[in-house]
Amino acid sequence: MEFKISKELIAQLQELIQGNNSTALEALLADMHQADIAEILDELTIDEATYIFKVLESEKTAEILLEMEDDLREKILSRLSPKEIAEELDELETNDAADIIAELSREKKEEVIQEIEDIEHAKDIVELLRYKENTAGGLMHKELVKVNENWTVLHCVKEMRIQAENISRVHSIYVVDDEDRLKGRLSLKDLLVSSTKKAISDIYIRKLNWVNVDTEDTEVARIMQKYDLEAIPVVDEMGRLVGRITIDDIVDVIKEEADKDYQLAAGISQDVEADDSILELTRARLPWLVLALLGGMISVHVLGLFEGAMDGHRNLFFFTPLIAAMAGNVGVQSSAIIVQGLANNTLSGTVFQRLVKEVSLTLLNGIILAAILFLGSHFLLQVDTTIGIIVGIALITVIVIASLIGTFVPLLLDKFGIDPALATGPFITTSNDICGILIYFSIAKLILGF
Cα–Cα distances in angstroms (integers) from residue 167 to residues 102, 244, 246, 299, 376, in the given order: 22, 11, 12, 60, 67
416, burial (CB in 10 Å: exposed 0-12, middle 13-18, buried 19+): exposed
Q: By CB under 8 A, what part of segment 79-108 binds a second copy?
A: none
CB burial of 246-265 (b: ≥16 within 10 Å; e: otherwise) equals bbebbeebeebbeebbebbb
- CA–CA distance, 396 with 388 (Å, rounded to integer): 13
Report, in Å, the least distance between residue 354 CB and a second copy. Answer: 8
CB 421 within 8 A of CB 261: yes
Beta-carbon count within 10 A of 420 CB:
23
**Quick check: 367 binds a second copy (CB under 8 A)?**
no
> Contact between 330 and a second copy (CB under 8 A)?
yes
Determine if 205 is a binding residue for a second copy (CB under 8 A): no
Residue 438 sits in the site that holds a second copy (CB under 8 A): no
**166 contributes a contact to a second copy by CB under 8 A:** no
Q: From start to end of 102-166, where are the E strands? A: 145-148
Other Cβ atoms closer than 10 A to 301: 10
Options 72, 126, 157, 292; binder of a second copy; rule CB under 8 A: 292
Report the site for a second copy in 46-85 (rule: CB under 8 A): 67
Among 58, 340, 397, 431, contact with a second copy (rule: CB under 8 A): 340
Q: Does 167 bind a second copy (CB under 8 A)?
A: no
Among 19, 24, 205, 262, binds a second copy (CB under 8 A): 262
d(CA 207, CA 174) in angstroms, rounded, equals: 11
Piece of 47-55, 83-91, 92-100, 429-437 that binds a second copy (CB under 8 A): 429-437
- Asked if 430 touches a second copy (CB under 8 A), the answer is yes
Stretch touching a second copy by CB under 8 A, among 16-24, 78-86, 119-127, 275-283: 275-283
Chain centre distance of CA 145 = 29
DSSP state of 198: S
Q: How many Cα atoms sit within 13 Å of 252 on the Cβ side? A: 12
The yes or no reply on residue 379 touching a second copy (CB under 8 A) is no
| CA angle centred on 145, ends 142 and 151, rounded to 5° | 130
Q: Which of 390, 433, 435, 443 binds a second copy (CB under 8 A)?
A: 433
- Show the binding pattern over residues 209-228: x = contacts a second copy (CB under 8 A), - = does not: xxxx----------x-xxxx
Q: Is 385 exposed, middle or buried (0-12, 13-18, 19+ CB in 10 A)?
A: exposed
Residue (84 or 259) nearer to a second copy, CB: 259
Contact track, a second copy, 118-157, x by CB under 8 A: ----------------------------------------
Tell the smallest beta-carbon distance from residue 177 to a second copy (Å). Answer: 17
Binding map of a second copy across residues 293-312, x = CB under 8 A, - = no contact:
xxxxx-xxx-xx--x--x--
- 332 lies in the binding site for a second copy (CB under 8 A): yes
